[in-house]
Amino acid sequence: MTAPIIRFLLFSLIVSIGHSVPAAAAALPQSAHDGTNTVAEKTASEPPPPTASRQPSDGRPIDEQLIFSVNRIAERTSDTGRAVWVITQSDLRRTNARTLPEALMEVPGLFIRQTAYGTGDPVMRGMDKQEVLILIDGIKLNNSTYGSISQPYLATIDLDMIERIEVVRGPGTVFATETMGGLINIITKKGPTGGKATPVGANAVARFSSADSGLTGRFEVFGRGDRLRYLAGVTGRNTEDVVGGGSIGRERGTGYGEAAANASLEFNPTRDQTLFLRYLRLDQHHVPRSDRILNGSSLFDEFNPGRLELTSLGYQDLTFRRWNDSLSVTGYVNRQRDDEQRISSSSPQIQRSYFDGQRVLGLNLEIASHIGTSQRIVYGTDYSHERIDSRREDVLRNTGVVTPRMGNFPDDSSYSEFGAFVKHRLTVRDRLTVLTGGRYARTSVGGLEILPIGTIDLQRQDRSLTGTVSGIFRVVPQLNVVSGFSAASRPPSLRDVSSFSDFGSSITVPSPNASAEKILATEVGLMYNASRASGSAFYYNNRVRDVLRRGPGLFNGLPFLDTNHDGTQEPDEPNIVQRLNLGRQRINGFELEGSYTLHPHVAVYGNVSHTLGDDVTVGTVPLSSVPPLFGMMGVRFTGETRRRPWGELVFQFAGKQDRLSPSDVDSSRIGPTGTPAFHVLNLRGGLTLSNRVDLTGALQNVTDEAYKYHGSGIFRPGFQVVSGLSYRLY
């Protein structure tokens, strides 16, 4: 299958280059997958939507509210027909966050859980882990081993290399498979755009936070010529054990260090064509599994290293032709490592070392075409092949004897996916827009699970279809009514089909016959955007079936481990357990957000979200780790003096969550009483000291409240002072 795909991609690339009309290079285009300037500049020549001439109510330029991740075209957030949010570079500077998970903690409908200070598991509409898709410049970060809350997820992406972030809530995308909860597209810095050429420039950033004695340093160089632009940067970060609020005090086993680097090089043969090469890497060192250390189940437990390394090479062409007006081809290599060393309290004489690595090779093709003046179609294909290496070593601490053991996953196993998608947009008389889309995906698992009880062949294939339809009705230029329906699925990952554990009375064995989880999702909403006010309100209802969960299974055709091969279960022969498609879930909730400009220099804003989730397999039982009611409110002041001062007061809150599942009650991160409510006050501000120096500062958790996010293994920092300094050389 791979060879025909590669031939098709190469043919499309050759045809595209052959039919291009050379043009003098002008302003440097930005990646079509980035969702930034090039697409915005190009679509500026097309008929604008009714609200395109309006300024956002929070005072940001119009192009800062454009989003690309929904329909693969730069459009206003209020015209996407989806529940979306955009975090711009100016937003990132204001929050002055330490890491990417912290920068997302004020986003509507997005909840962040942390088992450790160096992790970040996103939760959207009651779904998390592998059910939330994470992209970097449109390239999938998720791999087939995702699924544990202890994995770093978002924390492996350096915040200081990010240009902007686009968040889409809900499962209605056809551009990838793992989007049952939503997607987060991280768009990295590429270098300067527009204006006169800048052969070389530099920027240095420093940040300090008092609760964890945290230090961050970033240095980057960049430049732009007539046909070329580039950026390269390095980041170092170190945190000590964090001090929680109130009586929590210093939380043992929360400090760690990390180092990151990224580079981007773009060359423009013509104004509409871009060749690019990008690289990024982040290494986390000695990241403790804080929840296990704090609850006493581990004497020592840390990830070292945790690593993300992503290299991509691509070509993009925005030349208008009869058969298409944009084409993008991207190849990439995504390498990740999660090596863990642990000494459990129950076996202090043994140190267990887990070595888990994944390498994903991928290729994406995307083509967009306009059909007349009222229709647009986006179609393409993607392919990825993942190879997993996994092993474990047990070391007797008193003798140093090493014993090889089975790893977390089958060693030298594989997981591959081929997908083809199409999305169509139809506008009827500027009042009604209908969007439809579909995706076909085929996934393959390969590998042998060599177990103490025998060998299981995991070879399998799955096919799945995703369909979505949504509508946007413009009541007046400022107000859109939107609705959508999606039928999506998530094929089982390698983690889903390859689990093994021996509990004595039962043994969990791999599940090569597991099938895809399926979701039917509906949402309705209002989106408003006027000169002084903007906001949205969404209600969603999800029905999930064929949910993978543990239940009675079979091994060699029997529901028990037949050790004596007589076909009859003896008292000492354990039952067989597998992950099977047994569960059904019901999830619904609402998301509200809005902002209002009181004065040209004063704006108020806020959001609130609530999810109610139930397992309805047998009766009605609360789903695990569903967030409580949560949100934030703020007021922002901006000045127009030479120093450009700004300040904001931000109030974050979450309700008490005592609606618990049985696993929540048993979890050391939650427990039978649930998670208390919290109310946290933050003060932030900044100013320009000179044309090269910017200063930011914050007083966080002013009341020193002891609080944590539901499902987390650590408490958030208590009262702390945060300061940031940026120095520009250009």
pLDDT tens for each residue of 116-126: 999 999 999 99
Give the angle 33-38-44 at the CA atoms, nearest 5°.
120
**128-158 tens-digit pLDDT:** 888 999 999 999 999 999 887 777 789 999 9
Q: Domains along the chain?
A: 2-729 (2.40.170.20)
* Both structure tokens of 622: 């609360």
- C-beta separation of 694 from 686 below 8 A: yes
What is the pLDDT at residue 49? 32
What is the pLDDT at residue 78? 79
**408-425 tens-digit pLDDT:** 999 999 999 999 999 999
What is the pLDDT at residue 148? 74
Residue 519's H or E segment, with its range, is strand 517-529
Is pLDDT at 399 greater than 80 in this prediction? yes
What is the residue-averaged pLDDT of the chain? 88
Mean pLDDT of 481-489: 94
CA–CA separation, 183 and 79 (whole Å): 18
Chain length of the chain: 730
Mean pLDDT of 689-711: 96
**169-215 tens-digit pLDDT:** 998 778 887 788 999 999 999 999 876 778 899 999 999 999 999 99
Report cis status (omega within 30 of 0) of the bond before 559.
no
Per DSSP bridges, beta strands 506-508 and 575-599 are parallel
Is pLDDT at 113 greater than 70 in this prediction? yes
Per DSSP bridges, beta strands 720-729 and 162-169 are unpaired
- C-beta separation of 133 from 154 below 8 A: no
Is pLDDT at 39 greater than 70 in this prediction? no
**651-670 tens-digit pLDDT:** 999 999 999 999 999 999 99
Nearest alpha carbon to residue 536 among 481, 612, 474: 481
SS3 660: coil
SS3 37: helix
**350-369 tens-digit pLDDT:** 999 999 999 999 999 999 99
**556-584 tens-digit pLDDT:** 999 999 989 899 999 989 999 999 999 99
What is the pLDDT at residue 643? 87
What is the pLDDT at residue 63? 52
Count of CB atoms situated within 10 Å of the CB of 571? 4
Mean pLDDT of 100-120: 94
Is pLDDT at 444 greater than 90 in this prediction? yes
